[in-house]
Amino acid sequence: MYLWDGKEECARCWHLLAWRRDEKSGDIKYVLSNAAADIPLIDLARMASSRFWVERALQDAKGAAGMGEYQMRGWTGWHHHMAMVMLAMIFMLRERVLLAEELPLLTAEDIVWMIEYYLPRPHATEEEVRKALARRHRRRQTDIDSRKNRNPVTLEDIL
């Protein structure tokens, strides 16, 4: 699709991607992209679907690392706060990568929970934390499985 804003000399190529999650749902997702005209469709679909993960990272930063909990008036304080949030997010990402095989459902919230669990109770054993975390992950896996059964989404749905 070509769009012209009336200011440039000629129209520019834009891509419009539209997909439906399933046949039952009337919900149609749209993405408008100004990527190069010769970009493969699979690359456009991959970029469009990565939006979820970007938003997920921002949700983790706001919920687990306190990104939205600043109370300052100047740019310097805001930048310092955001730098600390990013450091916390790097720490949490590193822990999730290191523990990916052992704890595939580990989230940023889980890491915050473990830190909060250990700090006020230094007497808590590692086994107690593992059991509590396993309970959290069993509940999360049950939720994931029930959602998959309701609305399965595949790459073909996006394309």
Tell me, yes or no, whether 7 lies in a domain: yes
Tell me, yes or no, whether 122 lies in a domain: no
Tell me, yes or no, whether 130 lies in a domain: no
Does residue 154 carry a pLDDT above 70?
no
| Residue 13, H or E segment | strand 12-13
Give Cβ neighbours of residue 33 (< 8 Å, ≥ 6 apart).
14, 15, 16, 17, 44, 47, 48
pLDDT digits (tens, 9 = 90+) for 71-107: 878 888 899 999 999 999 999 999 999 999 999 999 9
The mean pLDDT value of the chain amounts to: 84
| Residue 19, H or E segment | strand 15-20
Q: What's the pLDDT score for residue 95?
A: 93
Tell me, yes or no, whether 2 lies in a domain: yes
Crossing angle of the two packed helices 108-118 and 75-98, in degrees rounded to 10 = 90
Tell me, yes or no, whether 141 lies in a domain: no
Tell me, yes or no, whether 147 lies in a domain: no
Q: What's the pLDDT score for residue 157?
A: 57
pLDDT digits (tens, 9 = 90+) for 46-60: 888 887 888 888 999
Domain that holds residue 45: 1-49
Tell me, yes or no, whether 100 lies in a domain: no
Share of the chain above pLDDT 90, in %: 26
- Cβ(17)–Cβ(39) under 8 Å? no
Q: How confident is the model at residue 27 (pLDDT cuts 50, 70, 90)?
A: confident
Domains identified in the chain, total number: 1
